[in-house]
Amino acid sequence: MKTVNRKVTDAEVAGRAMTDEEAEDTVSESGGERMERKPDCVLKEQSGQEAAVILANWKKRSRRYRIYRRCLCVVLVLACTALAGMCYYSIDSSIPSMIYLRAGQEQSLDLGVPARAEIIGVSGQGDSNIPKGAVTIDLNKPVTMRMGGLEEYQMQVNLFGLLPFKQVEIRVVEDTELIPMGVPVGIYMKTEGILVVGTGEFKGQDGTECSPVKYILKSGDYIHKIDGESVTEKEDFIARIEESGGRELILTIERDGEVFDQKVRAKKDQNGVYKLGLWVRDNAQGVGTLTYVDSQGRFGALGHGINDLDTSTLMDIDDGTLYETEIISIKKGTVGTPGEMTGMIVYSDDRILGDITSNSERGIFGVCNQKVQTLTKMEPLPIGFRQEIVKGPAQILCTVDGETAYYDVEITAVHLDNDNVNRGIELTVTDPELLDLTGGIIQGMSGSPIIQDGKLIGAVTHVLIQDCTKGYGIFIENMLDAMG
């Protein structure tokens, strides 16, 4: 056998050389799955698209981040503004616009605010002769003051000692003692003129609805005259309208302190009676608590004014009378429903306690007679000013079971410069006996004296409807200031 020796090439070992086209379409040995190899241009295009998507996503995230940063900045600005506003309000409410001091006595003033004050003048003296910077006070520290005569001073308060903040009036008054009363009284007040409660409609003779003064008069108006003649009684007013015969009348009206004349003409109803279509009132009556009597026989009561039930406006009074009254029933207060006292008022001369001369937003005031002295055995007490009131135990004086007695309360907050003059003191009833009798503060207790540390500091004025154990009080100096 002839043996032939030759060199075996790589191509022969592989079988044959593969072309480029065949290399692009091979079958994997592991499972026969087809593997495609893409051209470089396709890969570049795909990479570019992926880069574009990544760039677009990055831009979206960047825009979102910018929006988030802006929103965060806005929130921070609003938060800082709110914080600054709260700080401003807190400091402003901590500095009373009016400070009362007793003449000739040393008194401590501890406001604890980051401000300095300067006495800049004396009221009523024109240009001040006090040198600038001669009298300064650091309101961040307790300060003892002693004022001489009965004067009124102007004090400029500068925040942090630099920024002008507010002016405070310092009123120097004589040391006053008042007899705390806490007894229920009947109140009758005659309005100054005829109070318009509202307008209404009636059917005229032809059957159509009539309202002659619907857009002429409104709730809260006072009618003082008809054709130049004064009118004070509701019955007299109605009679003069009925007798007008449908002729033109001139009513003198008071509205929001402005007095003007208004022409009106009554119309007949289906019964042939002339009417204007008005609801009117000429008096108000109710039960409240007498707060104090001073050495001159002047009294203050309620701690708030008497408003008309329908119009909610403070009633202008011509005169009024204070009557002795007896509480005949008590309705306990519950959540959402305030309780009330029901009193029996006998309108007889032998039960008159005094005359009401003023009805203001700070209470009713007048002069009482000697009969009032038989209603109490309480001794006069000195008054306590707002800056002397502290959070903590106090008492109210009231009559709920036939006898006048002290009941425990807790003063929870003192608002030295509250815009609402009737709500400078916040208090909570803690006395178990009073809670058992009334459930807390009820209607009719308005005017009950508030006593702390042996001083008369104010009077109860309001109850919280949602929690009748809590309520508000007015500072005693606010009542005295309104009494004059």
Q: Which among 269, 274, 184 is positioned nearest to 226, based on CA atoms?
A: 274
194 residue type, one letter: I
* Rounded CA separation 387/14 (Å): 110
* Candidate list 221, 282, 360, 446, residue with the active-site label: 446
Q: Are 334 and 348 in contact (CB under 8 A)?
A: no
Non-local CB neighbours of 175 within 8 Å, separated by 6+ positions: 102, 103, 105, 382
Are the CB atoms for 357 and 365 separated by under 8 Å?
yes
> Which regions of 234-316 does DSSP assign to beta strands (E)?
248-255, 258-265, 267-268, 274-275, 278-293, 298-301
CA separation (Å) from 14 to 9, 34, 81?
9, 21, 84
Q: What share of the chain is helix, strand, coil (3-state, %, to 5)?
A: 20, 45, 35
Helix (DSSP H) and strand (DSSP E) numbers for the chain: 6, 29
Q: Which of 282, 304, 360, 448 is catalytic?
A: 304
Backbone angles phi, psi at 384, to 5 degrees: -115, 130
Catalytic position from the list 221, 431, 448, 462: 431
The residues, ordered by sequence, that sit 6+ positions from 426 with a Cβ below 8 Å of its Cβ are 411, 412, 413, 414, 415, 470, 471, 472, 473
CA-wise closest residue to 342 among 381, 288, 271 = 288
Confirm whether 304 is a catalytic residue: yes
Residues labelled catalytic: 304, 431, 446
